[in-house]
């Protein structure tokens, strides 16, 4: 019986059963471990930070160590609620997502036009369509702003970046015309423009020190928003860069924005970007940015991510997410936004294909003959795995006569050190497959290509890591057949029923398998998980129904409760050090400020600290103290005391380490630096933040005043006080610190940023007694301090790091509560000070990590220096190589005998510049402006080198021996020499030493470029180009060949009328542009020229054989001096040497009479003159011929002009 039981078959079955039981148990244990870990982490995060004794610190560190024991690193897969499941408190106060039902949804998910409550919404971003060419963030916020504005919300966009094209004024006007207020906070712009702008508070543009660029940008954004605290109901930020940090911090501290919903968009933080691109964290600023982003999210009211994936990524990386963390997919701007109306009776959230009939319906599928890789040509977008897949697909592609297209921006592949298009072309030729490489295409051109014969295309999106890419959304919008990597948030965009046909693992074999499978069964367009119109409606309506009260989590509610129930003042000792006579001025300022502040939170005691050293003159010391006593009496500050401390604690400043301080009976202590004094509302702000946050230590940013004029209160009669610097007159009730100012800001950090530098706070801080007792060293006045290392290398950085690493809660207020009269900012820390701080971090880590902190910091610093050294070395090598090449080139021409050596050497330093642009784009005017510089010689003639270039192109592409190498290279060198000699022919030997540049203007395309030269390309609104060109024909003739067989651009009858009446076309504007054939031909030619030139510029970015400076006619017209200065800088010339613009030489815009017979070539050059002549037909023709080019160039935001 037993032998029958243990047959091979039964043993195998038992083994399989046991194996599955083991897998199940292991999975269950792993799941429970993960749950336990999350609960422990949440419990740890919710532990009170107000430590009453040292045992609490030990328990806290033990809890921290227990978390470190968790070894499971599997990615989390929690399900976060969709935005439409948000239940406003005015509908039902129970915000339970699980009990949410469709009836509640319908109460706020009606048509946006029917929502009555419209909000004041601010979108703060570093990217937006138009001023800054960006990525997905800019696209998402552009679409959001358009939709909110369309539905009646009041929208303000705050762009925190430098405008990359056109001018700030241009974009403000353009957005204003669309009903959106655009504010541009370009903190790099010069002070001259800031002074002229009355809408900008110049105080915000004072110097800012203390941290890196992202931190400073966040701080200055906070300053602007604080001025507009009452102006917005909702403020949007993106997570990347942590731009919301100081704004959300001030709300968290109860200072500003208490009635504002702060919303963070989870688009992809810095750490996610770095790891996605396999980039090292090789600089301390990476940790600073990571801290800014983490805290921005933690302190925000709402976190709304386009994908569930990104929220899980944040949680997996131990971000503390707000209670209100939701998922809502991005919108697409402009024409992608669906305008369909909701059908009567149709439920907004109805699942696509939800009924059985639709699910079982036969989907029409078709074959495809083109595989299209869509995305930037780099590994980050899956190019490498797609190319590997082509190895296995090559035979099928050749057999089926299929084409492979690559559509995206060109990049340099670092692994093989070549440009992507070259590598792809070589790969395709090696495999013998038909490939088309489309690089440098505009967004419109890319979409147009995707839509052309789209039923024959299969689009491949192979990104190995991504959040919620717009490429997928665009393919779904345009109903394209796609396959996409099953990563990140991509699956969430695809309808559940379509995912098995669309998604693949980001591996070459998976791509091969998916393509072959679809080749057999055919392809069909995938569907949205949530359609565009529904996403738009949810987004817009959420803004109408969201309540600020719902944004308050339990911590905020507890904070508000503490603030509202506060009824008993606490005792505060304000510690003011006396450094003999040098800081008497600040002591008087502090006493004056304290007397003016009737604190709601504190009973104040003033403590004057003096050293016990015998080095001071006791007579003079007493004299100074007498003046202090006199002022204390005048100000009625009767609760005061003077105490002595160990003098070694004053240099370097660390009076908190004095035992005598703790002999003062107080609940809180406020330490002030020698050179600093309190602002007018410092005490109430400190008290409010302490009650609101329950922090143990509070500090703030500092305002460096550098003002030696002392101004005291007039609460007492005019009097003069004697100080070492002279007489001080008491004259004003307000502290005067409105002189030259610099903000010194602190993050108030914890963790990694504190390893690199003091990001915590200054020497001015308030601390509760229990924390001071626990952290301070407590030297008494009589202690003989023998360990000088402890004293010399201690300070505020050491104190803060020790306190925060022991679990004490630090709050650093972004508002300036302290003003400093220091003439110099804090000196850099010493190496020994850094070692002391690093030891505070080592102490909280296990012994096995003892050197990790020191090693990390040394790596970051050495790595940065090492990279800088490499860059410097590479630059020197490149410069040396260029010099050698130029020398060889000059010698070669000498041997050929084509040039006179002496004549050439006298002009060998002169470089070549070309002005290019479409006809009537302002090339002639630009030439006159550039030629005002004495070191530039512009040829008077137009040489039209493009004709020779075209001939050479045809010649060198013929199958003749003379068109092959090496003769082809000889021809190109001859041509470069010919162009240079033609341009130099106008420069005499005597004039040559004064000339740096010789140039020529021809309204022709950029291509082909002459290597080593510089180009200035001017672009003008194509509508104004058309008007100007037609006007040129009327006034001077010409351009007849632009209209094909129709020789006349304008009816000769109308031209004849103009000859007798120069106002004819002003009276009959519709007659100027009435010829459709001519109009369309010129419009399409302008669009092609602009796009071709943009492609050349993109190619030059990849292979910079020449440099191009691009400017707009409109910007040169608005600000000729500013752009002329940039042009001269581009040419390495001194702007101050140039002659001024004038009417006489026709260099001032509009500085001539267009009706004068002497000035027929130049008209008024008015911006937007097309509005005076375009009919509805003209608008229609122009849009059909140019597509979205005006939008891409920034002249319009949409095609509804």
Q: What is the pLDDT of residues 231-276, one digit of tens each?
A: 999 999 999 999 999 999 999 999 999 999 999 999 999 989 888 7
Q: Tens digits of per-residue pLDDT, 602-624? A: 999 999 888 776 555 565 667 77
Band (pLDDT 50/70/90 cuts) for residue 1154 is low
The residue that leads in pLDDT, 724 or 172, is: 172
* Token output for 5: 């039981």
pLDDT reading at 169 higher than 70: yes
pLDDT grade for 867, boundaries at 50, 70 and 90: very low
pLDDT band of residue 433 (cuts 50, 70, 90) is very high
Residue showing tokens 């408190």:
89
pLDDT above 50 for 886:
no
Residues 6+ apart with CB under 8 A from 514: 483, 504
Round to whole Å and give the CA distance between 841 and 1052: 86
Window from 284-288, 700-704, 1002-1006, 1020-1024 with minimum mean pLDDT: 284-288
pLDDT tens, 1041-1067? Answer: 667 666 677 888 888 877 888 888 888
What is the fold of 566-844? Spore Coat Polysaccharide Biosynthesis Protein SpsA; Chain A (3.90.550)
116-336 CATH: 3.40.50.2000
Query: For residue 830, what pLDDT is reported?
Result: 67
pLDDT of residue 196: 44
- Under CATH, domain 365-527 is a member of which superfamily? Glycogen Phosphorylase B; (3.40.50.2000)
Token look-up 């007792």 returns 773
pLDDT (average), residues 899-924: 76
Phi–psi pair at 666, nearest 5 degrees? -155, 155
Q: What is the pLDDT of residue 984?
A: 83
Strands of the sheet containing 457-461, edge to edge, are 434-438, 403-407, 370-374, 457-461, 482-485, 503-504
What CATH code is assigned to 904-1193?
Answer: 3.40.50.300
pLDDT of the residue at 45 = 39
Looking at residue 1040, its pLDDT comes to 58
Question: What is the predicted pLDDT for the residue at 722?
Answer: 35
189-211 mean pLDDT:
51
Compute φ and ψ for 409, nearest 5 degrees: -75, 145
Q: Which of 136, 150, 217, 214 is nearest to 179 (CA)?
A: 150
Judged on CB neighbours under 10 Å (0-12, 13-18, 19+), 414 is exposed
Q: Is the pLDDT of residue 671 over 70?
A: yes
pLDDT at 306 over 80: yes
Percent of the chain past pLDDT 70, that is, above it, reads 71
Mean pLDDT, residues 157-164 taken together: 90
What's the full length of the chain, in residues?
Answer: 1201
- For 453-562, where are the E strands, in sequence order? 457-461, 482-485, 503-504
Which one has a higher pLDDT value, 1068 or 1042? 1068
Indicate the SS3 state at residue 838.
helix
SS3 452: coil
Segments making up each domain of the chain, as ranges:
2-68, 116-336, 365-527, 566-844, 851-897, 904-1193
* Predicted pLDDT of residue 41: 40
C-alpha angle 819/574/623, rounded to 5°? 85
Q: Per-residue pLDDT tens for 927-961? A: 999 999 988 989 887 777 767 766 666 666 666 65
| Mean pLDDT (the chain, rounded) | 77
Contacts 24+ apart (CB under 8 A), 497-502: 497/353, 497/359, 497/527, 498/526, 498/527, 501/526, 502/526
pLDDT over 90 at 483, yes or no: yes
pLDDT at position 1011 is 78
Instruction: Please give the pLDDT value at position 363.
Output: 67
Say whether pLDDT at 181 is over 80.
yes
pLDDT of residue 205: 47
Angle 104-108-109 (CA atoms, 0-180°, nearest 5)?
100
Q: Mean pLDDT over residues 157-161, rounded? A: 94
- The stretch 1080-1086 carries a mean pLDDT of 91
- Over the stretch 15-38, which tens digit does the pLDDT of each residue have? 555 555 554 554 444 444 444 444
Residue 492 has pLDDT above 80, yes or no: yes
Locate 148 and state its tokens: 């909110």
Q: CATH topology of 566-844 equal to that of 904-1193?
A: no
835 vs 1184, residue with greater confidence? 1184
pLDDT tens, residue by residue, 385-430: 999 999 999 999 999 999 999 998 888 887 777 888 889 999 999 9
HEC readout, 883-901: HHHHHHHHHHHHHHCCCCH
Residue 388 or residue 846, greater confidence: 388
- Given this model, what pLDDT does residue 1150 score? 64
pLDDT, average across residues 159-185: 89
pLDDT band at 180 (very low <50, low <70, confident <90, very high): very high
pLDDT in tens, 564-591: 777 788 999 999 988 755 567 788 888 8
Closest listed residue to residue 555, CA positions, set 265, 298, 234: 298
Q: Which of 938, 1102, 919 is nearest to 1005 (CA)?
A: 919
Question: What is 219-287 written as a DSSP string?
Answer: HHHHHHHHHTTTS-SEEEEESTT-TTHHHHHHHHTTSS-TT-EEEEE-S--HHHHHHHTT----SHHHH
| pLDDT tens sequence across 744-766 | 888 888 777 888 778 899 899 99
Q: What is the pLDDT of residue 895?
A: 41
């Amino acid at each position: 019986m037993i032998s029958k039981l243990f047959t091979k078959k039964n043993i195998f079955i038992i083994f399989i059963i046991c194996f599955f039981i083991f897998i199940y148990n292991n999975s269950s244990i792993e799941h429970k471990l993960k749950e336990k870990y999350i609960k422990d982490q949440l419990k740890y995060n919710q532990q009170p930070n107000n430590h009453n004794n040292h045992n609490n610190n030990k328990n806290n560190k033990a809890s921290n160590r227990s978390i470190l024991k968790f070894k499971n690193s599997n990615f989390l897969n929690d399900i976060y609620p969709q935005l439409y499941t948000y239940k406003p408190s005015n509908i039902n106060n129970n915000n339970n997502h699980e009990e949410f039902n469709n009836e509640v949804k319908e109460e706020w998910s009606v048509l946006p036009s029917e929502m009555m409550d419209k909000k004041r919404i601010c979108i703060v971003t570093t990217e937006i369509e138009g001023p800054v060419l960006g990525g997905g963030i800019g696209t998402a916020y552009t679409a959001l702003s358009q939709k909110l504005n369309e539905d009646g919300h009041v929208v303000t966009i705050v762009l925190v970046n430098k405008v990359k094209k056109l001018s700030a004024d241009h974009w403000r006007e353009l957005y204003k015309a669309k009903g959106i207020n655009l504010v541009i906070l370009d903190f790099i712009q010069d002070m001259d423009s800031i002074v002229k702008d009355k809408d900008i508070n110049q105080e915000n543009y004072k110097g800012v020190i203390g941290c890196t660029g992202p931190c400073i940008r966040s701080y200055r954004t906070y300053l602007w928003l604080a001025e507009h605290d009452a102006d917005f109901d909702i403020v949007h930020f993106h997570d990347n860069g942590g731009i919301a940090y100081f704004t959300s911090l001030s709300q968290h501290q109860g200072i500003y924005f208490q009635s504002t919903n702060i919303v963070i968009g989870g688009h992809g933080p810095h750490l996610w970007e770095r790891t996605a691109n396999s980039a090292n964290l090789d600089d301390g600023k990476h940790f600073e940015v990571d801290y800014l982003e983490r805290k921005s999210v933690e302190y925000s009211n709402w976190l709304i991510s386009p994908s569930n994936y990104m929220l899980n990524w944040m949680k997996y990386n131990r971000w503390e997410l707000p209670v209100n963390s939701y998922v809502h997919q991005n919108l697409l701007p402009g024409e992608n936004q669906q305008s369909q109306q909701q059908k009567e009776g149709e439920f907004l959230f109805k699942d696509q294909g939800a009924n059985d009939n639709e699910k079982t319906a036969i989907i029409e599928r078709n074959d495809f003959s083109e595989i299209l890789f869509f995305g930037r040509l780099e590994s980050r977008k899956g190019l490498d795995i797609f190319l590997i897949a082509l190895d296995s697909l090559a035979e099928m592609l050749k057999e089926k006569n299929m084409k492979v297209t690559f559509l995206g921006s060109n990049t340099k592949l670092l692994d093989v050190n070549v440009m992507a298009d070259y590598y792809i072309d070589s790969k395709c030729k090696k495999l013998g497959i038909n490939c088309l490489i489309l690089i440098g295409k505009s967004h419109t051109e890319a979409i147009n290509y995707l839509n052309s014969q789209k039923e024959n295309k299969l689009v491949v999106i192979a990104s190995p890591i991504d959040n919620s890419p717009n490429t997928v959304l665009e393919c779904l919008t345009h109903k394209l057949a796609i396959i996409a990597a099953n990563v990140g948030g991509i699956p969430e965009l695809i309808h559940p029923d379509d995912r098995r046909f669309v998604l693949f693992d980001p591996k070459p074999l998976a791509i091969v398998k998916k393509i072959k499978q679809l080749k057999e069964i055919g392809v069909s367009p995938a569907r949205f998980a949530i359609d565009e119109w529904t996403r738009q409606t949810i987004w817009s309506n959420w803004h109408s129904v969201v309540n600020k009260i719902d944004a308050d989590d339990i911590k905020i509610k507890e904070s508000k409760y503490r603030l509202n129930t506060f009824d008993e003042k606490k005792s505060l000792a304000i510690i003011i050090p006396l450094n003999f006579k040098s800081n008497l001025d600040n002591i008087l300022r502090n006493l004056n400020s304290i007397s003016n502040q009737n604190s709601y939170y504190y009973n104040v005691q003033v403590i004057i600290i003096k050293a016990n050293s015998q080095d001071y003159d006791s007579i003079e010391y007493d004299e100074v103290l007498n003046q202090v006593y006199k002022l204390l009496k005048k100000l009625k500050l009767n609760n005061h005391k003077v105490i002595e401390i160990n003098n070694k604690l004053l240099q370097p400043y660390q009076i908190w380490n004095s035992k005598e301080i703790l002999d003062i009976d107080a609940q809180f202590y406020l330490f002030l630096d020698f050179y600093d004094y309190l602002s007018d509302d410092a005490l109430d702000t400190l008290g409010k933040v302490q009650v609101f946050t329950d922090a143990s230590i509070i500090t703030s940013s500092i305002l460096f005043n550098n003002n030696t004029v002392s101004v005291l209160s007039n609460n007492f009669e005019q009097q003069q006080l004697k100080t070492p610097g002279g007489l001080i007159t008491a004259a004003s009730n307000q502290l005067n610190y409105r002189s030259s100012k610099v903000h010194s800001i602190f993050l108030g950090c914890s963790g990694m940023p504190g390893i690199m530098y003091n990001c915590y706070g200054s020497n001015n801080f308030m601390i509760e007694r229990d924390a001071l007792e626990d952290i301070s060293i407590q030297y008494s006045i009589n202690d003989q301090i023998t360990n000088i290392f402890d004293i010399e290398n201690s300070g505020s950085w050491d104190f803060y790091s020790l306190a925060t690493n022991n679990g004490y809660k630090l709050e650093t207020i972004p508002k300036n509560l302290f003003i400093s009269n220091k003439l110099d900012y804090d000196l850099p820390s010493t190496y020994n000070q850094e070692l002391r701080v690093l030891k505070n971090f080592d102490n909280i880590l296990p012994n096995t990590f003892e050197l990790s902190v020191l090693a990390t910091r040394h790596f970051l610093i050495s790595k940065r220096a090492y990279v800088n050294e490499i860059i410097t070395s590479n630059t020197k090598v490149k410069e040396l190589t260029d010099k050698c090449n130029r020398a060889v080139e000059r010698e070669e021409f000498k041997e050929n005998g084509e040039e006179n050596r002496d004549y050439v050497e006298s002009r060998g330093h002169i470089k070549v510049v070309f002005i290019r642009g479409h006809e009537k784009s302002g090339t002639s005017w630009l030439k006159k402006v550039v030629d005002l510089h004495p070191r530039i010689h512009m040829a008077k003639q137009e040489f039209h080198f493009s004709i020779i270039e075209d001939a050479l192109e045809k010649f060198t592409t013929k199958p003749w021996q003379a068109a092959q190498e090496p003769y082809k290279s000889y021809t190109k060198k001859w041509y470069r020499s010919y162009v240079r000699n033609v341009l130099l022919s106008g420069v005499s030997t005597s004039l040559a030493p004064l000339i740096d540049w010789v140039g020529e203007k021809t309204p022709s395309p950029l291509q082909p470029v002459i290597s080593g030269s510089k180009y200035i390309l001017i672009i003008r609104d194509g509508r104004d180009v058309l008007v100007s060109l037609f006007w040129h024909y009327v006034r001077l003739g010409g351009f007849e060949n632009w209209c094909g067989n129709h020789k006349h651009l304008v009816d000769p009858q109308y031209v004849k009328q103009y000859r007798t009446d120069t106002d004819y076309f002003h009276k009959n504007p519709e007659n100027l542009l009435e010829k459709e054939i001519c109009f369309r031909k010129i419009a399409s030619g302008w669009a092609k020229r602009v796009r071709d030139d943009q492609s050349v510029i993109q190619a030059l970015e990849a292979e910079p054989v020449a440099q191009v400076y691009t400017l707009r006619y409109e910007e040169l017209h608005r600000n000729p001096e500013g752009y002329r200065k940039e042009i001269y800088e581009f040419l390495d010339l001194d702007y101050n040497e140039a002659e001024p613009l004038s009417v006489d030489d026709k260099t001032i815009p509009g500085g001539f009479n267009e009706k004068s017979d002497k000035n027929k070539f130049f008209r008024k050059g008015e911006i937007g003159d097309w509005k005076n002549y375009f009919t509805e037909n003209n608008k229609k023709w122009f849009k059909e011929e140019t597509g979205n080019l005006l939008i891409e160039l920034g002249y319009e935001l949409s095609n509804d002009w």
